Amino acid sequence: MKKNQSILVVDDDREILRMVNRILELEGYNVATAANGRAAVALLDEYKPDLVILDIIMPELDGFQVLNLIRQRSEVPVIMLTAKCEVTTLRDALVAGADDYLKKPFRTRELVARIKAKLRRAELGLLSPPTTGIERQGGEVTALYSHRRALNNKEPR
């Protein structure tokens, strides 16, 4: 792990904020927390996190709105951490630019492993998509890596 990596955790559930904050501090990360979308956006430019953990259902700005604002200014890795478990929500989060998705309730070891993997890949430049168009097409999804997007082949374009 690179020294002093920082993580912004955004969730309106104070218990989850406290738990994730403590776990990540024990792992050696610098952690900032926000209890709503507006606070998260305010912290983004000031804190410049190496990774964001983002809930979807929040007051003021929801996780998708925050994710869109993040993607307008940064390619920071984003892990969605949410109770919304529908496949369409997962797809929508990935299409909007999330790098990973973890459902609540979650295992803390799995969260830490996913964080380490995303940060490792970001350090190596592997989260940046290739510059060519369609990289993978199959079944219901087409992955457009150059645009960090996935398309649902069953929906009209």
Task: Report the percent of the chain where pLDDT is more than 70.
Answer: 78
Structural domain includes residue 1: no
In a shared domain, residues 140 and 107: no
In a shared domain, residues 102 and 147: no
User: Which range marks the domain in which residue 119 is found?
Assistant: 6-126
In a shared domain, residues 103 and 137: no
Count of structural domains within the chain: 2
Q: Of 79, 22, 84, whose CA–CA distance to 53 is shortest?
A: 79
pLDDT tens, position by position, 109-141: 999 999 999 999 998 887 654 333 444 455 555
Separation of alpha carbons 157 and 32, rounded Å? 39
How far is residue 4 from each of residues 8, 14, 82, 114, 141, measured CA to CA in Å?
13, 24, 26, 18, 37
**Helix, strand or coil for residue 53?**
strand
DSSP state of 1: -
Structural domain includes residue 32: yes
In a shared domain, residues 86 and 157: no
The dihedrals phi and psi of 10, each to the nearest 5 degrees, come to -125, 115
pLDDT of 130: 39
Separation of alpha carbons 47 and 139, rounded Å? 40
CATH number, residue 84: 3.40.50.2300
Structural domain includes residue 72: yes
The residue behind tokens 């952690």 is 31
Strand order in the sheet with 51-54: 30-34, 6-10, 51-54, 78-82, 100-103
Sequence-distant (≥ 6) Cβ neighbours of residue 5 within 8 angstroms: 29, 30, 50, 51, 119
In a shared domain, residues 81 and 151: no
In a shared domain, residues 148 and 75: no
Structural domain includes residue 65: yes
pTM above 0.85, yes or no: no
In a shared domain, residues 113 and 151: no
In a shared domain, residues 11 and 41: yes
pLDDT of 124: 86
In a shared domain, residues 135 and 97: no
In a shared domain, residues 139 and 122: no
> Rg for the chain (alpha carbons), in Å?
15
